[in-house]
Structure 1
Amino acid sequence: MPDFFATCPRGLEKLLADELISFGATDVRISAGGISFAGDWPTCYRVNLQSRLASRILWRVKDATYFRDEQDVYKAVYDLPWTKWFDVSCTILVKVTAIKCPLKSLEFITLKIKDAVCDKFRAEKDARPSVAKLDPDMRIHAFFEGEKFTLYLDTSGDALYKRGVRIHTNIAPLRENLAAGILKMTGWKPGIPLLDPMCGSGTFLIEAAQISLNIQPGIARNFAFEKLKNFDARTWNAMRESAIAAQLPVSELPIYGSDLYGDALKAAHQNLEEAGIRETVDLKQCNALEVSPPEKEGVLVANLPYGERMGDEDELAELYPQLGDVLKKRFGGWSAYLFTADLRIAKLMRLTPSRRTPLYNGAIECRLFEYKIVAGSNRPK
């Protein structure tokens, strides 16, 4: 049975492990930034199609130890049956990452791995695959740690947080799988009112609407595994057709979004429209400090402005206490979840968070702050 590694944003590993188990994965092992698991190829297809939390699903094809230099790596890569895995017409791209690696140049070892794959094709097929830096058919990942290295073939292609939905975006978008993980952490479920008062291009809103309508995150895109020679088209087509049949009809949902900026709201409108779910979300232009709760109880979630989204630290320092006052005065009975890289919020909000969860948005260290607002009181629970 093949071994796989599912990468994810740091902080979502436990949630991803649970998700993989629900898809039928076995031998699930948690590590920093991802999950190792075993499964048959239909499980690989299912995870790519249905995972809301994973970034990539990598097929582990080699574990090895190199002893002297880059030539040992070359030989280990050359010995693999590349021509049995994909056709010479497929373009390739090699990516190398390393921790405490004694090799002098990662660029050189990347070149050696590429040469090994191409030389193997030339020896067996009298032709070699081309390298494509943009949109390659096959991505080959090599991970070095000490004197060991692991080689993977990427079954996903484009990262899984690229749902094939959002085209229009604001300056600092939230990755879709991180947004899905945050929604999971809030305890929100379909049917519970959801409000994003700083919705930007609508990432939280789109994820919530697709979850509510049982639209699988990978239903609108293609995957690299479709170009592997062992690809089972019949099984895959049946899986996709079953997923499409299980979707719920598009209808109005208790999902609400607003933003101060018209350009951001226009992007959210366009993204929802192109996803075919525009009527599911109630959108309006509004300052977050003037927003009112759309229902008596619910979940408020927001990716607060920071970094390039709003560069002036003094402006942010003024925003946080005002936002805290809005939550206290208007949102009794709601649970608020604020995601930010600006850790000053803990003091400036003048509210005591009931939970602080470390998360990463790409390489940016962030926190998800939870506030339980008690109805009829200015104090958090």
Structure 2
Amino acid sequence: MTNKVTLIATAAMGLEAIVAKEIRELGYGEVTVENGKVIFEADIRAIPRCNLWLRTADRLKLQVGEFHAYSYDELFEQTKALPWEQFIPEDGSFPVTGKSHKSKLYSVPDCQSIVKKAIVEKLKQKHGIASWLQETGATYKIEVALLKDKVSLTIDTSGAGLHKRGYRVNQGEAPLKETLAAALVKLTNWRYDEPFYDLFCGSGTIPIEAALIGQNIAPGFNRSFAAEEWGFIPSSLWDQSLEEAEDLAEYDKQLTIFGSDLNPKMTEISRENALEAGLADLIEWKQMQATDFHSKLEGGYIVSNPPYGERIGDKQQVEAMYTELGKVLKDYPTWNIYILTANEQFEQLFGRKASKKRKLFNAFIRTDYYQYFGQRK
């Protein structure tokens, strides 16, 4: 088994550069950024480390091979030629998922079936098995992805998506993904010693992610990953990575983080989620209307994902709230304000043009991240 592997960190559209920066900060310098993914080479210790530390990636995949295929025979033979035995043991379970876009091999079920057969043949040959593979061991979830006749074969190392930190015991109707919440925080210049507010906290995701960032707590510290069961990654590497995460956490850092919401049920849910994340004493939750915001502090950061007003009955009410919020926050010129919304009229309603805006996707909703930089104190 070679110690070097090719890894792919998948990302929501618009977050690829942030994921790439995180990977570089972990010490993996040579990265290739493509739509929806960041590709890099590393030793196998990167599998536990990246799963533990990547805040904004959706999942981490191990790339077994990449090639062009224009026929099912080519797909079979080139898949079979790959070193599957280096990763999957004779009792390994390896379900195959797939997707195809603008490729001659457009039937996803056929591609999945052919890839499965090719891997079975290779493993039987290499492990010296004449009968069926039992597949009773650890899971190695394989994906065959075709794009313009280029085939990428990967194994998912994460299991549940990396947004599943393990702290969300409850949530509202349209919760913000933890990975996007972390990205919203990382796209600011916020430092742990500055006040941080979310005026529409919902289930508390943005303040909780800010607290994890502020204390440098690895987001995957309290969950498990599919690759923990894989034989070719020594358990000692997982132990070392967990020890590193524990050593780097700065639990003694004092943070000033607030989350508020109009709905008292949501502030209670936020409190429960923060408790589950081990951050109960770090974040102050308050039931209030966003337009009642008031602070005597000289400056800070407001990072929020307010209602978008997409439903017809809500639109007028939400837009009126944007206007009122703009009037209230105008009295805080030294504060940095970051608002994520799908409402294209936000700047006009808020009453001023953003210093900068960035296109992001909240699930499948195209949004803009409006950034208002505060005056220097």
Do these two structures clear the TM 0.5 threshold for a shared fold by scoring above it?
yes
| Residue 296 of structure 1, CA deviation | 2.2
| Residue 204 of structure 1, CA deviation | 0.9
Residue in 2 that maps onto 1:360: 361
Which of residues 145, 149, 160 is equivalent to 1:147? 149
Residue in 1 that maps onto 2:69: 66
Unmatched runs of 5 consecutive residues or more in structure 1? 377-381
Task: Give the distance between the partners of 2:112 and 2:180, measured in 1 at CA.
Answer: 29
Residue in 1 that maps onto 2:116: 114
Matching residue's letter, 1:128: L
Matching residue's letter, 1:343: E
CA RMSD, Structure 1 to Structure 2 (Å) = 2.5
Residue in 1 that maps onto 2:207: 205
Matching residue's letter, 2:133: R
Residue in 1 that maps onto 2:43: 40
Which of residues 173, 176, 179 is equivalent to 1:177? 179
Instruction: Answer yes or no: is the 8 Å Cα contact 2:70–2:104 preserved in 1.
Output: no
Which of residues 19, 22, 30 is equivalent to 1:19? 22
Instruction: Answer yes or no: is the 8 Å Cα contact 1:339–1:369 preserved in 2.
Output: yes
Deviates more, 1:310-319 or 1:277-286: 310-319
Task: Give the distance between the partners of 2:315 and 2:119, measured in 1 at CA.
Answer: 50
Residue in 2 that maps onto 1:281: 283
Say if 2:90 is the partner of 1:85: no
Unmatched runs of 5 consecutive residues or more in structure 2? none
Closer, same or farther in 2 for the Cα pair 1:7/1:294, shift >3 Å?
farther
Instruction: Answer yes or no: is the 8 Å Cα contact 1:252–1:281 preserved in 2.
Output: no
Per-residue CA deviations over 1:294-332 (Å, capped at 9, x if unaligned) read: 622100010111267996222222221111111113x23
Residue in 1 that maps onto 2:342: 341
Task: Give the distance between the partners of 1:106 and 1:85, measured in 2 at CA.
Answer: 24
Task: Give the distance between the partners of 2:314 and 2:116, measured in 1 at CA.
Answer: 45
Deviates more, 1:286-295 or 1:199-208: 286-295
TM value normalised by structure 2? 0.90
| Residue 280 of structure 1, CA deviation | 0.3
- Give percent identity, aligned residues only: 31
Task: Give the distance between the partners of 2:49 and 2:64, measured in 1 at CA.
Answer: 20
Task: Give the distance between the partners of 1:142 and 1:108, measured in 2 at CA.
Answer: 11
Say if 2:29 is the partner of 1:30: no
Closer, same or farther in 2 for the Cα pair 1:240/1:360, shift >3 Å?
same
Closer, same or farther in 2 for the Cα pair 1:122/1:271, shift >3 Å?
same
Say if 2:235 is the partner of 1:230: no
Work out the number of aligned pairs and report it: 371
Alignment of 1:120-131 (within 5 A): 120-121=122-123, 124-125=128-129, 126-128=131-133
Closer, same or farther in 2 for the Cα pair 1:181/1:357, shift >3 Å?
same
Task: Give the distance between the partners of 2:234 and 2:36, measured in 1 at CA.
Answer: 29
Per-residue CA deviations over 1:322-356 (Å, capped at 9, x if unaligned) read: 11111113x23101000012222122222111111
Instruction: Answer yes or no: is the 8 Å Cα contact 1:251–1:280 preserved in 2.
Output: no
| Residue 284 of structure 1, CA deviation | 0.7
Deviates more, 1:310-319 or 1:355-364: 310-319
TM value normalised by structure 1? 0.89
